Copies of this chain bind each other. A is one copy, B any other.
Amino acid sequence: MSFRFDVLRTHPAGARLGRMTTAHGAVDTPTFMPVATHGSVKGMLPSQLHELGANILLANAYHLAIRPGVETVAALGGLHGILAWPGPIATDSGGFQVMSLGKLVRVDDDGIRYRSHVDGRAGVMRPEDAVRAQEGLGVDVAMSLDECLAAGASADASARAVARTTAWAARGAAARSRPETALFGIVQGGLDLELRAASLRGLVDIGFDGYAAGGLSVGEPPAETSRAAAGIAALLPPDRPRYLMGMGTPRDLLTFASMGYDLFDCVLPTRNGRNGTLFPRQGKRTLRHAVHARDPRPVEEGCACYTCTHFSRGTLRHLVMAREMLGAQLATVHNLHFYLHLMREIRAALAEGSFPERPAVAAGAWA
């Protein structure tokens, strides 16, 4: 088992500087994982991701198992071959997708029965299948199959989802056969911290390489997200990596890193980039606005990214308005640069004792 996690330094308020060692190399934490749901970070060459300082990517085992299929991925060099990425790769197993795909899925104690959103074929993903699929993809960090509920679920439904998630976690852990793939458990339980604590106890009893907080930012008010995330962070084993799933804005990254979370992912920088929304330090910038049409300045003055050193706001607006792919690509480059630079600033500040002031400067209007 090559996986390990070392906490190198802990800030009094909870933030940690760490290093997660995987079968494909080490990941300095806290870090942000660019999202490669279907086998690519949309619009980005792997060489660009490397230049931007990405140190781990996140794909989705559920989507990849449906298309192109685990055996096909394995025949093509595993997910490392598909992504042309020699570094660490993590996958989510599919619990969140089950929630978001709604009518195409049915969940019972056995697992998830779904109809493929690609061709309508019926399939099943049991917790054992989820682990085997991620092992078959050859990933470095896999997630247990969980049941993720949207905000507003009843106390009963939440309790049942936790019980099911714990049972699935145990079945998945028992199905493991590949030491190179670390497995994380996912804490569920909505906004009820007692239920969250019970969920975590069940997972710790089974024993995982890391722990994730799932089922947050699923429709609840942001203040509730923060309260729950802080409560969960206080319970998580300090010696294991902590992954806060699916968040968030630059402000969120700083807030939740402060609580002691180590790993983050979110589609915001990539999806918003494709829609022409940029994340400069000054705050959200919508390229479609006519005010940018003849603006020769870069999206963010002083930014070192390829987009800001080569293209003006006016040019980016033109590319977005003309629906040129390059506009989406360049916006994604800037947004990922912003996110990954912020994480570097967080790590540097934790190393040198200037947390959270230094990353707050990097986050600008977002902090």
A residues adjacent to B (C-beta < 8 A): 38-47, 67-68, 71-72, 75-77, 81-82, 84, 293-294, 296, 306, 310-312, 314-315, 317-319, 321-322, 324-330
Q: Is the CB of B43 within 8 A of A329?
A: yes
Q: How far is the CA of A330 from the CA of B84 in the complex (A)?
A: 12
A321 to B68, CA, bound (A): 9
For A313, the closest partner residue in chain B by CB is: B76
On whether the beta carbons of B75 and A296 are closer than 8 Å, the reply is: yes
Closest residue on chain B to residue A41 by CB atoms: B326
Q: What chain B residues lie within 8 Å of A75 (beta carbons)? A: 294, 296, 314
A326 surroundings in chain B (CB, below 8 A): 40-45
Q: Which residues of chain B come closer than 8 Å to A310, judged between CB atoms?
A: 46, 84
Cβ–Cβ contact B82 & A296, under 8 A: no
Q: Could you tell me if A81 and B312 are in contact, using CB atoms closer than 8 angstroms?
A: yes
Most buried by B among A45, A47, A82, A293: A45
User: In whole angstroms, what is the CA distance A41 to B326 when docked?
Assistant: 8
- Are A306 and B39 closer than 8 Å at their CB atoms? no
Contact between chains at A38 and B324 (CB < 8 Å) = yes
CB neighbours (8 Å) of A306 from chain B are 45, 47
Asked if A315 and B39 sit within 8 Å, CB to CB, the answer is yes
Q: In the complex, are the beta carbons of B39 and A324 less than 8 A apart?
A: yes
Complexed CA–CA distance, A71 and B39 (Å): 41
Q: List 8 A-B contacts (CB under 8 A).
A: A39-B319, A42-B324, A71-B294, A76-B294, A81-B296, A82-B318, A84-B310, A325-B328
Chain B positions within 8 Å of A72 at CB level: 293-294, 314, 318
A2 to chain B, nearest CB (A): 25
Chain B residues near A38 (CB, 8 Å)? 322, 324
State the 9 A-B residue pairs at the shortest beta-carbon distance, nearest first. A40-B326, A75-B294, A84-B310, A76-B314, A68-B318, A43-B325, A40-B324, A38-B322, A82-B315
Cα–Cα, bound, A310→B293 (Å): 37
Q: Give the distance in Å from the alpha carbon of A67 to the alpha carbon of B314 in the complex.
A: 12
Which residues on B sit within 8 Å (CB–CB) of A293?
Answer: 68, 72
